[in-house]
Structure 1
Amino acid sequence: MSNHRERVTVVIRTKNREQLLSRALDDVIAQTLPDWRLVIVNDGGRPGPVDALIAQRESSFDGRVEVIHVDGGTGSMEAAANLGAQRANGEFVIIHDDDDTWDPTFLEVMVDALDADPDAVAAAARTEIVFERVSPDRVVELGRAPFVPPGEIVTIYDLLQTNRVVPISLLVRRRIYDEIGWYDPALKVVGDWEFNLRLIRHGRILFVGETPLAFWHQRPHATGAASNSVFGESLGHMQFDRMVRDEALREYIDRNGIGGLLYLSKYIEETVRHYSLQQTIRRALHRPLSKLRLRRR
């Protein structure tokens, strides 16, 4: 039994990535806010190494950890996230993938932000991409880049284009899952984006942090268990992205008809073609004029 309250339920989904999981466990333990409980979903991975990592940190966890070993796996990252999030007893839920990290003050700052704004459904932290390479004995950082929504605000406008908020940065009120539903387990990838689209339609998402508090780790050249889904499942991302958009379009057409969309798609095509042709003509005219100027000199 833990001596701490469960204000935040942290869900880690993992599979055979002990080196990265070890870092993630220490990351949670290092949080300045102690009122968390960790649910680890071992989604079809070897149970022994996960149990060993937990045992090594038993005193630090102080009863604040639960491990779910899923023999054979759940079938998708979103199903694994649901399995963990449905065990939440606190006010807030966050998905902390096994390869990502936080600033030590992340939970404290984010909880304070939502406590101060009870009408917000969730809070998204300023995020930084960390490029890295995994070797057998260590993880080497290669560089960093900001990952911030345009205008430093989370909007439907931007989320319609692509996902601007990754799980490691997003703290959600637990009750919101009951109101909008869980992650779609049929989506092998992009499930967090589809969830965010429902979330932002339901209410306002705060943007928090003058400095990065969440760190989205990427390994562009890694293969196998060490890879990121955004790289290792790039074709899947394209396919499932289109599936989400196609389903939304079908619902829109059922309510509004197809005429407006037919017009808009043709208008965009012809407008792009027009400006592309203009640019081609300008480039073609620019070349002989440039040569003529050079000759005169």
Structure 2
Amino acid sequence: MSSMNTPRVAVITRTKDRLILLERSIKSVHQQTFTDFIHVIYNDGGDKKAVEELVAKYEHLTNGRVKLMYNKESRGPDAAFNVPIKSVDSEFIAIHDDDDSWHPRFLELMVAHLDKTKVKGVIARTDRIYESISNNAIRIQDRDQYMPHLSHFSLYDLFAENFAVPISFMYAREVFKKVGYYDEAIRVSGDWEFVLRFMRFYDIEKVDPGYPLAFYHVRPSNSGILGNSIYDPSKSHVQYHTKLANRFLREDLEKGSLGYGYLFNVGNAERARGWELEEMQRRIHELSDKIDSQAQLIASSKLSLRGVKRAAKEKLKNTARKVKAKIRR
């Protein structure tokens, strides 16, 4: 248990020049029913004054539970985990990136499960939210349950897919003694590599109260600062996954035994097939939308044509009546 002056949970938010998203995340964190936490907002090379003004705007909600940190030069995503984590003390760690959100009972139910079971890590039932940002407004387009088929989590499955997206995962700070911190040399997917090390020593359990507790927001149509790295047109995720797979495999070869390298590369192959299927599904969905759109245009064109025909017939009838009337005279 934590001491009287030490919060039970450290909530870590990485941000850089995404005020519209950061504002949503501040509301998400500070509308929690569980309030024994410190919220560390780590501004990794973004506009310092703008973030300070935004946090000040919500002083009535944050109630002194925010610690603002600023780095003039961006240090990268995993340094943006380690620096704020090490800057405070707490019993548990929760990552709340600036573009994601929580159900108000997230912290309450996650802490309760950790207390009850004494496991070192838990993952919340999560929904994936598809959205887009334009004209400084967020528009929700669709949603689905993220990996609904997983009720239990295995290390083997983790090699194929990262089921522990940061917004859904909470764990005990004490694991750093065995697991270590986030690897700052990894520019993309460092959170995944951390969970792979975590599961080498500890199991993870699922918290599912019958509704989603975490919301993983994705913006396939946005790029740049407002986009998601998984939809980066440069395919940096694929590049770094491959580098990670190569690193693990080299470590296996040096040891002269099969281990993480073999399993990760098997998972990499499965993941590549999954991406191909997702791309095919996306194209089918786009074609289906185009067909529906064309069908609607054709249908409306037919209706318009019928209207023109009716109007022409009426005009001919009126003309015929006038001609007949003249003939009778």
TM, length-normalised to structure 1: 0.82
**Quick one: distance in 2 between partners of 1:230 and 1:121?**
28
Q: Deviations over 1:74-116 (max 9, x none)?
A: 1x11111111111231100111000000000000000000001
Q: Deviations over 1:45-90 (max 9, x none)?
A: 001110001111123222211111100111x111111111112311
Q: Which has the higher contact order (CA 8 A, sep 6+)?
A: 1
Aligned to 2:128: 129
Shift of 1:148: 2.2
Structure-to-structure mapping, 1:64-83, within 5 angstroms? 64-74=65-75, 76-83=76-83
Could you list the runs of 5+ residues in structure 2 that have no partner in the other structure? 270-329
Cα RMSD, aligned residues only: 2.0
**Quick one: distance in 2 between partners of 1:89 and 1:178?**
14
**Quick one: distance in 2 between partners of 1:79 and 1:95?**
13
The answer to whether the aligner puts 1:219 opposite 2:219 as a matched pair is yes
Aligned to 1:146: 145
**Quick one: distance in 1 between partners of 2:149 and 2:256?**
30
Shift of 1:257: 5.3
Query: SS where residue 150 of structure 2 aligns?
Result: helix
Aligned to 1:42: 43
Pair 1:234–1:126, CA change in 2 (3 A): farther
**Quick one: distance in 2 between partners of 1:4 and 1:26?**
24
**Quick one: distance in 2 between partners of 1:211 and 1:176?**
28
Q: Deviations over 1:116-144 (max 9, x none)?
A: 111x1210011110000112342110000
Query: SS where residue 87 of structure 2 aligns?
Result: coil
Aligned to 1:18: 19
Structure-to-structure mapping, 1:1-297, within 5 angstroms? 6-74=7-75, 76-118=76-118, 120-148=119-147, 150-209=149-208, 210-232=210-232, 235-256=235-256
Query: SS where residue 86 of structure 1 aligns?
Result: helix
For residue 85 of structure 2, what is the amino acid of its counterpart? A
Could you list the runs of 5+ residues in structure 1 that have no partner in the other structure? 269-297
For residue 127 of structure 1, what is the amino acid of its counterpart? T
Greater Cα radius of gyration, structure 1 or 2 = 2
Give the number of equivalent residue pairs: 258
Query: SS where residue 176 of structure 1 aligns?
Result: helix
Q: Deviations over 1:246-288 (max 9, x none)?
A: 2221222222358xx7xx99xx9xxxxxxxxxxxxxxxxxxxx
Indicate if the aligned counterparts of 2:6 and 2:89 stay in contact, CA closer than 8 A.
no
Aligned to 1:272: none
TM, length-normalised to structure 2: 0.74
